[in-house]
Amino acid sequence: MSALPTTQEKTIPDATNYKGAPAERSKTGGWSASAMILGGEVMERMTTLGIAVNLVTYLTGTMHLGNAESANVVTNFLGTSFMLCLLGGFLADTFLGRYRTIAIFAAVQATGVAILAMSTKIPSLHPPKCTGDSGGPCERATSKQLTVLYLALYMTALGTGGLKSSVSGFGSDQFDDTDEKERKQMLKFFNWFYFFVSTGSLAAVTVLVYIQDNQGRVWGYGICAVAILVALTVFLSGTKKYRYKKPVGSPLTQIAVVFVAAWRKRHLQPPSDSSFFFHEDYIPADGLQSNKQRLPHSNQFRFLDKAAMKDSSGTEAMKNNKWYLTTLTDVEEVKLVLRMLPIWATTIMFWCIHAQMTTFSVSQAVTMDCHIGKTFKIPPASMTVFLIGTILLTVPFYDRFVAPVAKKLLMNPHGLSPLQRVGTGLVFSVLSMVAAAAIEIKRLKEARSHGLVHTPHSKIPMTVFWLVPQFFLVGVGEAFMYMGQLDFFLRECPKGMKTMSTGLFLSTLALGFFFSSLLVSIVNKLTAHGKPWLADNLNQGKLYDFYWLLALLSAINVVIYFVAAKWYVYKEKRFAEVGIELEEQENVGNFH
């Protein structure tokens, strides 16, 4: 007898439509809904990168800031953009939901870019043009002019943070991961998402940068503002098509809950028998069943065990308060995150190295011959295309050639492990700074041999393509670092805190850019009285020493990383030792 045909459920179990009713499978979600979301990511990526990669030339050439100060403005802008992703993610997970977060922060970003565009057009909002013929220093931007600039940049950063935190997640919400067909479509969505991220990046460092340099910043930034508004309009037009999921709370809240509950019971002595801990699958105050996988008790970070201890002296209200009593599984999930922190901390240095590609490397390019042939001249900031292109080529090269060899040599079905890929990326970061220092020494020799040391606005007869090696090495390093970091955080974050993987990843980028700002400030202050390393006239500075310093710090960081990686035990192996099999974990797509 043949089996009865099964009918697919008409509604999605954990999703609603725009009215709050159960979402119908045939009328909501899918490719038509996700396509309206993808456009917003293209515009966000194009805008943020289009501003960032060419910002240092605007700050030095138009606002007349020094090289070190300009570099810090860029890295602080990028660091803030990535750090605000944590705020955007928290608001989306806890209060607003992803749809409202995208809509609100897209409008904020568009406003910021519009202010930036207007500030480049209105003469009173930037200093008079400096030709360098007067012999005196150029007039620096006033505090009022800089205030308007910073207002525009940080409004843009706020909008970027909100968008970046929610777009990929809301796109994946349009597919039901309990349905095999839609789960396959979700994987394709992430592939297309990465394609559109790459498209936006390439458009930013080529077309948009060219327009900024040749047609004016007002056109370049104005196009971005209009593009974001168009993308927002398209996004809002899909309101009736989307599937919505209720905010489930932020993993940051869970971490805070565990630490607060442990602190409130700090006077208690943790029991040796784990059966005395609170093991229930629900928190009575919430009355909600948990779908988390139960985790075994571990002996690390035992202070946190107190959060799951039952205190007989507490009142009934306190016992039912999650800020006083939480489950042992919640505690163990927080411990899993803490174990990742040494790896997390040692990846920050890579993004500090990466920051130099949008700051001093662009400043170097400004002083060099940017011609291709006799007539066409590429914008200095477009050198970033070699970094992005290298990333796009390295990923398939790894899949086609490196991974198969690594599988055979290391007996690992996945090729290089996540930690091995991260380590490879860190090694390339050291090599990139060695190459950058050597190339800068050659650039200075050319400047001296042609008598251009005291004429910073003159072009050194040395092709800008000498800078390609440092962009190439950072690009290869980023491909390995990006794949390794994301895979590591996705794999090792507990199932109940899966969105924490995004926060851990993006926070390393933010802190890397902020560390670059700190390092530049310290170096600039310590070397200001002699021959400054980061001089406003690069031909009179010692930028190569700064690159040597970064290479040294990165090399030390690599050694520390290898020690941390050697110490780290993968979650799967740790649980296998106590006879627990990990439940399958959903992928969380995120692209920076």
Within this chain, do residues 365 and 317 fall inside the same structural domain, yes or no? Answer: no
Query: Domain total for the chain?
Result: 3
- SS3 of 313, please? coil
Confidence grade of residue 581 (pLDDT, cut at 50, 70, 90): low
Same domain for 391 and 526, yes or no, is yes
d(CA 37, CA 193): 10
Positions of E strands within 133-283 = 282-283
pLDDT at 268: 85
Q: State pLDDT tens for residues 511-556.
A: 999 999 999 999 999 998 878 999 999 999 999 999 999 999 999 9
The predicted pLDDT at position 290 comes to 54
34/400 Cα distance (integer angstroms): 30
| Confidence (pTM) | 0.89
Please give the Cα distance from 381 to 206 (Å, whole number).
Answer: 9
Compute, in degrees rounded to 10, the torsion defined by CA atoms 195, 196, 197, 203: 110
CB–CB of 481/347 below 8 Å? yes
3-state helix, strand, coil in the chain (%, to 5): 65, 5, 30
**Domain-located, residue 8:** no
Same domain, 182 and 322: no
| Cβ-Cβ contacts under 8 Å for 446 (sequence gap 6 or more) | 460, 461, 462
Between the CA of residue 372 and those of 201, 306, 365, 463, what are the distances in Å?
A: 22, 66, 14, 9
Q: Are residues 307 and 186 in the same domain?
A: no
Q: What distance in Å separates the CA atoms of residue 221 and residue 204, rounded to the nearest whole number?
A: 11
Q: Answer yes or no: are the C-beta atoms of 357 and 536 closer than 8 Å.
A: no
pLDDT attached to residue 284? 45
Q: Which whole number is the average pLDDT over 573-581?
A: 72
* pLDDT value at residue 138: 83
Asked if residue 345 and residue 329 are part of one domain, the reply reads: no
581 found inside a domain: no
Residue 275 scores a pLDDT above 80:
no
Query: Residue 445: pLDDT band by 50, 70, 90 thresholds?
Result: very high
The answer to whether residue 560 scores a pLDDT higher than 80 is yes
More confident residue, 273 or 163: 163
The verdict on 26 and 88 lying in the same domain is yes
- Per-residue DSSP letter, 369: E
Average pLDDT on 375-380 reads 91
Question: Which residues does residue 277 pair with via DSSP β-bridges, in sequence order?
Answer: 309
Q: Which amino acid is at 48?
A: T
* Domain match, 356 and 490 both: yes
221 has a pLDDT exceeding 60: yes
Could you give the CA distance from residue 589 to residue 414 in angstroms, rounded to a whole number?
19
**Predicted local confidence at residue 3, as pLDDT:** 45
Structural domain includes residue 575? no
DSSP 556-572: HHHHHHHHHHHH---HH
Whether 3 is in a domain gets the answer: no
Q: Is the pLDDT of residue 590 over 60?
A: no
| Residue-range definition of the domain harbouring residue 274 | 251-282+291-334
The answer to whether residues 275 and 373 belong to one domain is no
Percentage of the chain exceeding pLDDT 90: 48
Both 443 and 532 in one domain: the answer is yes
pLDDT tens, residue by residue, 177-204: 778 888 888 878 877 887 788 888 898 9
Question: Residue 501 pLDDT > 80, yes or no?
Answer: no
202 and 233 assigned to the same domain: yes
CB-based contacts of 94: which residues, under 8 Å, 6+ apart? 247, 249, 250, 253
Regarding whether 305 and 269 lie in a shared domain, the answer is: yes
Rounded mean pLDDT of 132-143?
74
- Residue 353 pLDDT grade (very low, low, confident, very high; cuts 50, 70, 90): very high
Is 97 within a domain?
Answer: yes
Please report, rounded to a whole number, the percentage of residues in the chain having pLDDT higher than 70.
Answer: 90
Q: Is 2 among the domain residues?
A: no
Mean pLDDT of 318-336: 82
Same domain membership, residue 420 and residue 349: yes
Mean pLDDT of 128-153: 84
Whether 153 is in a domain gets the answer yes
Q: Is residue 464 part of a domain?
A: yes
CATH for 418: 1.20.1250.20
